[in-house]
């Protein structure tokens, strides 16, 4: 019995973690309109001082947003933008931008 | 008259704009990537400390943004132990060159 419970818990965990970690692409796309004003359509910014987000690493984007919200990473513009973002919003946005074509790994 | 004024204005603008943009030399930058490539050049590489996440992709990023990031790491305004150490060892010219290298050959969509 105990073993069954353990297996059920393990399965439940296995289902729940990836969902949480991945975010939702369509939701991210819908939420990205605010970001587009500076970071460009689909995260391809045309302003040199604003980073391109398209193709950036998903967990790096998520980490950056978290750090802006906590104040660990300081930027007057981004500090204001992230205040209204929930953890789920950040995951959605990070997933959406990571799936766009743009940045790439360069040796 | 109009043409002369416009040409003069254009020349002044060019003189102001070109040196700033041409400051970084991508070929010189490529020779300086040895410290960067150990993390930013390895597919799927993640930071180990203080928290774990994938290192950002640099290929195709705006040069201005890369320079700003490096300067912020050097000054301590932006904190990451590894990047503070590495950026701290770079001159302004190194930063411009590296940024020019990573920004070059962007193949994504233009918008």
Q: Are A72 and B54 inside 8 Å of each other by CB? A: no
Q: What angle do CA A84, A90, A91 make, to 5 degrees?
A: 150
A50 in contact with B at a CB cutoff of 8 Å? yes
A50 touches A38 (CB < 8 A): yes
Q: pLDDT tens digits, residue range A48-103?
A: 999 999 999 999 999 999 999 999 999 999 999 999 999 999 999 999 999 999 99
How deeply is A62 buried, as exposed, middle or buried, from its count of CB atoms within 10 A (0-12, 13-18, 19+)? buried
Number of H-type helices and E-type strands within chain A: 6, 0
Alpha-carbon distance A81 to B30, whole Å? Answer: 35
| Per-position pLDDT tens, chain B of length 111 | 566 666 665 555 555 554 444 489 999 999 999 999 999 999 999 998 889 999 999 999 999 999 999 999 999 999 999 999 999 999 999 999 999 999 998 888 886
Alpha-carbon distance B36 to B2, whole Å? Answer: 50
Q: What is the CATH number of domain B24-103?
A: 1.10.760.10
**The pLDDT value given to residue B14:** 56
Number of H-type helices and E-type strands within chain B: 6, 0
Residues of chain A contacting B83 with CB distance shorter than 8 Å? none
User: Distance from B33 to chain A by nearest Cα, in Å?
Assistant: 8
Closest CA to B86 of B70, B97, B98, B102: B70
Largest pairwise CA distance in chain A? 61
pTM: 0.80
B60 touches A102 (CB < 8 A): yes
**The pLDDT value given to residue B9:** 56
CB-CB: which of A60, A73, A105 is closest to B53? A60
Q: Are A46 and B78 inside 8 Å of each other by CB? A: no
**The pLDDT value given to residue B19:** 46
- Give the domain ranges of chain A: 2-98
A78 in contact with B at a CB cutoff of 8 Å? no
A66 in contact with B at a CB cutoff of 8 Å? no
**What is the homologous superfamily of the domain A2-98 according to CATH?**
Cytochrome c-like domain (1.10.760.10)
Q: What is the ipTM of this complex?
A: 0.80
More confident site: B3 or A34:
A34
**The pLDDT value given to residue A9:** 61
């Amino acid at each position: 019995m105990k073993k069954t419970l353990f297996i059920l818990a393990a399965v439940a965990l296995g289902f729940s973690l990836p969902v949480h970690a991945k975010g939702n692409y369509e939701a991210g796309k819908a939420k990205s309109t605010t970001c587009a004003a500076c970071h460009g359509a689909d995260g391809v910014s045309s302003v040199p001082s604003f980073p391109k987000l398209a193709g950036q690493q998903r967990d790096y984007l998520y980490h950056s947003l978290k750090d802006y919200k906590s104040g660990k990473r300081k930027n007057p513009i981004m500090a204001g933008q992230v205040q209204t973002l929930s953890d789920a919003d950040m995951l959605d946005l990070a997933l959406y931008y990571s799936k766009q074509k743009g940045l790439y790994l360069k040796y | 008259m109009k043409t002369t004024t416009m040409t003069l204005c254009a020349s002044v603008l060019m003189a102001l704009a070109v040196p700033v943009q041409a400051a970084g030399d991508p070929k010189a930058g490529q020779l300086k990537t040895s410290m960067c490539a150990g993390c930013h050049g390895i597919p799927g590489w993640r930071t180990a400390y203080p928290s774990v996440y994938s290192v950002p992709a640099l290929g195709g990023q705006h040069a201005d943004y890369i320079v700003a990031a490096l300067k912020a790491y050097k000054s301590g305004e932006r904190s990451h132990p590894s990047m503070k150490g590495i950026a701290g060892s770079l001159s302004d010219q190194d930063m411009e060159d590296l940024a020019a290298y990573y920004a070059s050959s962007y193949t994504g969509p233009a918008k």
